[in-house]
Homo-oligomer: A and B are copies of this chain.
């Protein structure tokens, strides 16, 4: 299936100030953001899915009723664990965005990588997307493994959050049968030029609008306009990446959105807030933020 979607946020998962999952806030946040974007990713790189018990993970998804395309991050270590998570995602009609096993990854080998993704794809529980996010997983998905997996009909996309655009160039030149999405905002226009169809990026929780403008300009061949936006947006993407989910939630709260708090021991406030706040304010003044 070819998607028309393009700018998607990895939605954070709100906890209350004591560290309990706040499913109501989670639903409210999704509903506040969804109208501004082209789809939603739950439990992605900024979604703290790995911070949830199995029951919480299910409860969080059960609170959602999205109308646009949906992805669910799946960051398990083994097939037995992944199959549980896969069924939950399928129940929501979502694609699963799957990171590789990581704790014993040095023992996985090419066969282990292939076996993991193929077995999940063969369950037929929704499409499988590859999720390359080495800054969190500390695992590299090798390019030949990705090329091999792309031949499987059940594996249909990739989100590459590494920001390493030589990888994007490889995916495109090999004409892999994968939807190509970047997870890296600071060099977004580079990813588009190299063949990405859009972005699944933390910035889209706060200010999807200018990224959609950039994408539209690019698609319309207005290169100078796209480059001007790219230059304008770069500090915003770089600043948010430096602070991660702690900063993202702080920024959402600042905008009056129900972003909640990170789960302890992660703290409520980011050391990157002081430098990020003025850019966020500037974007709000432009009418670019969600709220």
- Report A42-58 CB contacts with B as 1/0, cut-off 8 Å: 00000010110110000
A243: chain B residues at CB < 8 Å are 107
> Is A166 in contact with B187, judged by CB distance below 8 angstroms?
yes
The residue that A190 contacts in the complex, of B138, B190, B265, B271, with Cβ under 8 A, is B190
Chain B nearest CB from A285 CB (Å) reads 19
Identical chains bound together, number:
4
A window 98-120: CB within 8 A of B: 101-104, 106-109, 111-113, 115-116, 119
A211 to chain B: closest CB distance in Å? 14
User: Looking at A169, A175, A226, which has the most chain B CB atoms within 10 Å of its CB?
Assistant: A169
Task: Report the bound CA distance from A185 to B50 in whole Å.
Answer: 32
Partner of A267, one of B20, B112, B230: B112
Stretch at the interface among A1-9, A73-81, A122-130: A73-81
Is B164 in contact with A265, judged by CB distance below 8 angstroms?
A: no
Total number of A residues with any Cβ neighbor in B under 8 Å: 75
Q: Select A51's contact among B81, B115, B193, beta carbons within 8 Å.
A: B81
B234 touches A173 (CB 8 A): yes
Closest to A107 in B: B244
Among residues 131 to 177 in chain A, which have CB atoms less than 8 Å away from a CB atom of chain B?
135-138, 163-166, 168-170, 172-173, 175
Task: Tell me the nearest residue of chain B to A115, going by C-beta.
Answer: B265
Closest to A75 in B: B103
Shortest Cβ gap from A95 to chain B (Å)? 20
Shortest Cβ distance from A223 into B: residue = B221
Would you call A255 an interface residue if the criterion is a C-beta within 8 Å of the partner chain's C-beta atoms?
Answer: no
The answer to whether A173 touches B265, judged by C-beta atoms less than 8 angstroms apart, is: no
A246 at the B interface (CB under 8 A): yes
- Chain A, residues 258-279, CB within 8 Å of chain B (1/0): the string is 0000111111001100000000
Partner of A112, one of B50, B78, B84, B265: B265
A11 to chain B, nearest CB (A): 16
Q: Report the separation of the CA atoms of residues A234 and B170 in the bound assembly, to the nearest whole angstrom.
A: 7
User: Could you list 4 further interchain pairs (A-B, Cβ under 8 angstroms) beyond the known A107-B244, A166-B186, A169-B187?
Assistant: A48-B104, A50-B77, A51-B80, A190-B190
